[in-house]
């Protein structure tokens, strides 16, 4: 049975819950923040598989960007400057001298308008926001629509759409931290991840991409046949160590597989598959997660979750041969990411 519920939070936001017969997805109209995804394990136990703050007041500042819509540009823009048609724009500097995740007034901390809908095969909420010309330094009035849809087949779709009245840059993603063990019972060390990618972006000491690694074969970045995340945590690879012993890298999809990412936790039996028309994603394994913030059941710490930030890379602004993030006035930005949930071993 498909059902949508709505609850007032802290007298200023709404939390929506999309319910299907076997799972549910909850999120706020503030930042489009996903607070819960309840999915069954192989024994049928429903547990939360994303990180959330125990005290919802933490979403006001959201230092971990938990579950949020990220924009206008997801990722880091070096020196917080962009150039469009020979005009240079200075953006918010919110990570040293660089610009991160849309700046101080990013999409993660704005209040979105909403509209609910329901059909035979799915239910959802459409979130809308108009980002004014000059917000965080970006040019153009940008109208953004993000739709969250849960289907009867346990697919959770995030659809992005945007237009601008002035040439600008845009690349959106969602910043949920997944932990398929359920209710944070363990770290993500034993999560087995498969990624349709043979190329990554190489990072400098400020975590700014500066080069394309054309072949990740025989390295801890080759996930094409599946790999445990902990292999990168203990790796001597300079790129793994640079980001705090783990991953915070952009993977370019090879477009060889329908499922761009497959994540499995053998103990719980949960498996998550990701399909998308985005050209790649950042995988971040919480290597530098701020510690001591109270989450679902315990305090935040390293390796407690893993993000799969499907998007185009802002590095296209200074690196050739990457898909562009420029949005023209006669274009409509349209992207989709689909998360599907199942279990490896059905309950007997």
How far from 283 is each of 5, 58, 126, 182, CA to CA, in Å? 31, 24, 26, 20
Task: Give the count of beta carbons closer than 10 Å to the beta carbon of residue 171.
Answer: 27
Question: What is the enclosing helix (H) or strand (E) of 239?
Answer: helix 238-242
* Residues 201/212, Cβ–Cβ less than 8 Å: yes
User: What burial class does residue 130 get, using C-beta atoms within 10 Å of its C-beta: 0-12 exposed, 13-18 middle, 19+ buried?
Assistant: exposed
Known catalytic residue: 191?
no
186-190 contact pairs (CB < 8 A, 24+):
186/267, 187/301, 187/302, 187/303, 187/304, 188/229, 188/285, 188/286, 188/303, 188/304, 188/305, 188/306, 189/228, 189/229, 189/230, 189/233, 189/303, 190/228, 190/229, 190/230, 190/265, 190/266, 190/267
Which residue in the list 98, 99, 175, 191 is annotated as catalytic?
A: 175
Known catalytic residue: 309?
yes
Which residue in the list 15, 135, 155, 309 is annotated as catalytic?
A: 309
Which residues participate in catalysis according to the annotation? 175, 309
């Amino acid at each position: 049975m498909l059902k949508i519920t709505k609850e007032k939070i802290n007298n200023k936001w709404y939390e929506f819950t999309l319910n299907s017969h076997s799972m549910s997805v909850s999120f706020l109209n503030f930042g489009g923040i996903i607070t819960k995804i309840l999915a069954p394990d192989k024994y049928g136990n429903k547990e939360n598989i994303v990180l959330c703050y125990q005290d919802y007041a933490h979403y006001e500042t959201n230092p971990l960007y938990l579950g949020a819509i990220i924009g206008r540009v997801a990722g880091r823009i070096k020196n917080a400057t962009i150039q469009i048609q020979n005009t240079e724009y200075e953006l918010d500097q919110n990570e040293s001298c660089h610009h991160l995740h849309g700046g101080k007034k990013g999409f993660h901390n704005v209040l979105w308008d909403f509209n609910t809908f329901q059909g035979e095969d799915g239910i959802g909420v459409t979130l809308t926001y108009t980002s004014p010309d000059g917000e965080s330094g970006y040019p153009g009035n940008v109208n953004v629509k993000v739709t969250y849809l849960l289907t009867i087949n346990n697919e959770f779709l995030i659809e992005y759409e945007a237009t601008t009245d002035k040439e600008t840059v845009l690349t959106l993603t969602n910043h949920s931290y997944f932990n398929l063990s359920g209710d944070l019972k363990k770290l993500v060390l034993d999560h087995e991840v498969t990624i349709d990618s043979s190329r990554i972006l190489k990072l400098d000491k400020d975590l700014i991409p500066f080069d394309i690694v054309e072949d990740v074969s025989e390295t801890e970045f080759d996930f094409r046949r599946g790999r445990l995340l902990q292999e990168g945590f203990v790796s001597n690879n300079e790129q793994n160590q640079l980001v705090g012993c783990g991953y915070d890298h952009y993977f370019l999809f090879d477009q060889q597989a329908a499922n761009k990412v497959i994540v499995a936790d053998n103990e719980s039996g949960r498996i998550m598959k990701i399909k998308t028309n985005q050209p790649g994603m950042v995988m971040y394994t919480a290597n530098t997660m701020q510690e001591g913030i109270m989450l679902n059941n315990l305090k935040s710490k390293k390796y407690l979750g893993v993000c799969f930030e499907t998007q185009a890379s802002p590095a296209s602004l200074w690196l050739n041969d990457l898909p562009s993030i420029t949005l023209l006035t006669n274009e409509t930005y349209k992207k989709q990411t689909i998360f599907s949930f199942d279990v490896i071993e059905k309950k007997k």
